[in-house]
Structure 1
Amino acid sequence: MANKPLRPCLHPGCTALVRSGYCDKHRPPDTARRSAASQSYRHWYRLKIWTDELRPQQLAREPFCRDCARRGLRVYATDVDHVQPHDGDWSKFIDPNNLQSLCHSCHGRKTIAESRAKAARRKR
């Protein structure tokens, strides 16, 4: 199999040639989001209990976005969200009372707000 051609580093103005991404000088440091500790529970979303039970049951129980409904809109939910972030706590992860149905837009907005708040707490 042929090697990938060399390309300039993704950092603006850097001309170092790399196979992909950034050169060693400009490679972003591992953030908390990409660290192994924060990824340890990400595989839970591929487990049968989530894909075949919790997620579909929640969407059947609550087919419309909860946030949009508060604004008087009727939008089908596509994502299942944890009301209180579980942060690796299995009992919070599987608790059906901790789940809500959201449209993709509302889920993204909530996720960004939570991650910004978490980052602000870390900076203190």
Structure 2
Amino acid sequence: MASKPLRPCLHPGCTTLVRSGYCDKHRPPESARRSEKSQSYRRWYSLRIWTDELRPKQLAREPFCRDCAKRGLRVYATDVDHVEPHDGDWSKFIDSTNLQSLCHSCHSAKTIAESRAKAARRKR
């Protein structure tokens, strides 16, 4: 059986060839990976209640990005976000009043800000 072809490391600008992912120099540390708790509730996003009910109903109810609308822009929403992060709390996860529609860039910016705030709290 043939093995996977070599590809450049995923780190921007690195030309080291690897079978997949990052080279040894750029591999993220174990602490940067998701916790087991986080990995367990990431699966909720593949459940029918999310894919067939909550997500499509939210996008139908609010088809434009809420954050862009605050700035006077009319941009179609592509992502459904939890206003208050659920952090593994099932009741918060399925609460339709805790959902908002966002465009991908607004959702990414919010997610990064939440991740940084969470990391800062852990360092204290």
TM bucket, shorter chain? 0.7 to 0.9
SS of equivalent to 1:41: helix
Please identify the structure whose Cα radius of gyration is greater. Answer: 1
Structure 1 10/57 Cα, relative in aligned 2: closer, same or farther at 3 Å?
closer
Structure 1 84/33 Cα, relative in aligned 2: closer, same or farther at 3 Å?
farther
Structure 2: runs of 5 or more not aligned? none
CA displacement 1:48-95 (0-9 Å, x = unmatched): 000000000000001111111111111111100000000000000000
Q: Percent identity?
A: 83
How far 1:37 moved relative to its partner? 2.3
Q: What letter is aligned with 2:3?
A: N
- What is the TM-score normalised by the length of structure 1? 0.82
How far 1:26 moved relative to its partner? 6.5
Indicate the RMSD between aligned Cα atoms, in angstroms: 2.6
- The 5 A counterparts of 1:25-104 are 27-31=27-31, 33-104=33-104
Structure 1: runs of 5 or more not aligned? none
CA displacement 1:4-47 (0-9 Å, x = unmatched): 4678988899x8x8644333x86432125423222110010000
- What is the TM-score normalised by the length of structure 2? 0.82
Structure 1 57/8 Cα, relative in aligned 2: closer, same or farther at 3 Å?
closer
Q: What letter is aligned with 1:79?
A: D
Contact 1:33 1:39 in 2 (8 A): no
Structure 1 102/9 Cα, relative in aligned 2: closer, same or farther at 3 Å?
closer
Q: Tell me the residue number matched to 2:23.
A: 22
